[in-house]
Structure 1
Amino acid sequence: MTDLLAAYDTHLRTAAEVRGATSVERLGPLWVARYEGGRLFVTYAELDDPAARVAEVAALIAADDSIVQAEWKTRSHDHAPGLEEALTRAGFVAEDSESVMLGDADTLVDVPTPAGVTVRQMMTPADLRAALDMQDEVFGGTPYAERLLPEILERQARGDGVEVWAAEVDGRLVSVGRIDPIPGTAFAGIWGGATRAEYRGRGIYRALTAARARSAISHGVRWIHSDSTEFSRPILERAGLVTVTTTVPWTWERSPAA
């Protein structure tokens, strides 16, 4: 597992995390990425003086009214004393912890598709929008379809390999997720896995993950990466992926003007 964690730190942090950004600014060790809609994302490989670095980002946010949301991504294996306290003071709120999982893509592919379920890649803008809308419906909270659709279409136009797949039952979308190969590496991430509650526990998500893994393998991917919720973690563990660390997204939102 030590080797997998080292591979994660080497190949799946910093530049690999901000490929879809409209711009990326470096603040010392920080990578500060901007996205459409006023969203900011902060990551890093190593962190010196966490309190000072959080203060830099807080000052950047305070000086720019166009920033309406921000996310600072932490990992449990990093040495960053005082980081959580500094984020709290700056108005960030910790979301649910997620398991960072890695494993051989081949362990995911040998899964049958349940009877009555169709798994396919979403190819048209209308299909992509329908899949992203379903993710928003399942996850609740802040809707992301409006932001993600143009980002995915633009990345597909560049040929960087991101794909959206879905499972259907009687023509209804019941599970969706993305596969995102990392250019220049043998890794791909599986993201956004969302399954309607009434269709969970039937093997549908496993079949959807298998289809995504097969597609990634056909493009030269060997390793699969996922930041997994407690819904998907047990499924991926049974398929052979292992947890190498945990991550917590700390989020901030600008309060509406009075």
Structure 2
Amino acid sequence: MNKEKLLELFNKHMRIEITYPGSRVEQAESVVRQVSLSNERGFILFSKMNESTADAIIEEQITYFNNLKQSFEWKVFDYDQPLDLRERLRSRGFDIEEQEALMIMDLAEGDQLLNILLKPEIRRVTDVQGIWDIIKLEDDVWGVSHQALGERLVQDLHDDPANFFAYAAYVDGKVVSAAWMYLHEGTPFASLWGGSTLADFRKRGLYSSLLGIRARDAAEKGYQLLMVDASSMSEPILEKHGFHCLARSTPCMSPRY
């Protein structure tokens, strides 16, 4: 599948039409908003602007979310217009985070990953305690609290167990590596998240096994495309397993309301 077709599918299914758990989608004239129904932040995943309209639309969105007393993330892709959108957001007080690579794999071309030998430490996590074991791992790896993430994953496990898949690598009863996946019904996409590993357990094939088991489960459920927002550390590993960089995106966090 060529890049132009993949981008068309990605924009349609994952930026415009998608509704995330715990959110409502609002398709305004110039943006698509994901408004949180709880205390989580909102998102703008898609916008349609040009150089003459961008500044006014940015102000409209800041005012809109401020009135809701809700912070939000504006996800800017490198092909979004105007091309200086990220810098316009920066000048308006947004915090600009590290750029991510949008990595896509067509499972029709994924024999290498689908047939990878899985490490025996990998297990599917299906209970709340398992989710909090994963969150402890995240806290240990990154040195910050992931309480809000844990609450979201527990909610997703409860609300939509058919489309939320979590996995962990256990050594002596302890989670040493973990990842999760969402199947997006009505689309060809499964999105992959996480992939953290304790330092002492890296370079043992656990990350690759977590990719492999998610690819197999997605394929078994009839999904064709895997997508990952990859860090600079993960990008070369994903490339090695057959993923291709489709675009680059930057999370831009709104100024405080």
TM surpasses 0.5? yes
TM-score, normalising length from structure 2? 0.87
Counterparts of 1:45-124 in structure 2, within 5 Å, are 46-48=48-50, 49-65=53-69, 67=70, 69-105=71-107, 106-107=110-111, 108-114=113-119, 117-124=120-127
Residue among 179, 201, 204 paired with 1:202: 204
Which letter does structure 2 place at the counterpart of 1:227?
A: D
Once the two structures are TM-superposed, the CA of residue 154 in structure 1 deviates from its matched residue by 4.1
Unaligned runs of 5+ in 1: none
Residue among 139, 142, 148 paired with 1:139: 142
CA 1:64/1:104 → structure 2, altered by over 3 Å: closer, same or farther? closer
1:215 aligns with 2:220: no
Unaligned runs of 5+ in 2: none
Question: What does residue 151 of structure 1 align with?
Answer: 155
Counterparts of 1:238-249 in structure 2, within 5 Å, are 238-249=240-251
TM-score, normalising length from structure 1? 0.86
Aligned partner of residue 203 in structure 2, secondary structure: coil
1:4 aligns with 2:6: yes
Alpha-carbon separation, structure 2, partners of 1:177 and 1:194: 7
Question: What does residue 231 of structure 1 align with?
Answer: 233
CA 1:3/1:229 → structure 2, altered by over 3 Å: closer, same or farther? same
Per-residue CA distance 1:66-113 (angstroms, 9 max, x = gap): x2x321101002222442233123321111111101112334222223
Per-residue CA distance 1:212-242 (angstroms, 9 max, x = gap): 1111111111211111112221111011110
Q: Is contact 1:166–1:174 with CA below 8 Å preserved after alignment?
A: yes
Which letter does structure 1 place at the counterpart of 2:204?
A: R
Q: Is contact 1:74–1:248 with CA below 8 Å preserved after alignment?
A: yes
Once the two structures are TM-superposed, the CA of residue 34 in structure 1 deviates from its matched residue by 2.5
Which letter does structure 1 place at the counterpart of 2:116?
A: V
Question: What does residue 254 of structure 1 align with?
Answer: 256
Question: What does residue 24 of structure 1 align with?
Answer: 25
Alpha-carbon separation, structure 1, partners of 2:139 and 2:75: 21
Aligned partner of residue 61 in structure 2, secondary structure: helix
Alpha-carbon separation, structure 2, partners of 1:247 and 1:140: 25
Once the two structures are TM-superposed, the CA of residue 150 in structure 1 deviates from its matched residue by 4.0
Aligned CA-pair RMSD: 2.2
Higher mean C-alpha displacement, 166-175 vs 39-48: 39-48
Which letter does structure 1 place at the counterpart of 2:43?
A: F
Higher mean C-alpha displacement, 191-200 vs 236-245: 191-200
Higher mean C-alpha displacement, 25-34 vs 240-249: 25-34
CA 1:119/1:21 → structure 2, altered by over 3 Å: closer, same or farther? same
Alpha-carbon separation, structure 1, partners of 2:150 and 2:229: 22
Aligned partner of residue 12 in structure 1, secondary structure: helix
CA 1:250/1:124 → structure 2, altered by over 3 Å: closer, same or farther? same
Alpha-carbon separation, structure 2, partners of 1:34 and 1:120: 34
CA 1:50/1:132 → structure 2, altered by over 3 Å: closer, same or farther? farther
Question: What does residue 178 of structure 2 align with?
Answer: 176
Which letter does structure 2 place at the counterpart of 1:33?
A: Q
Which letter does structure 1 place at the counterpart of 2:32?
A: W
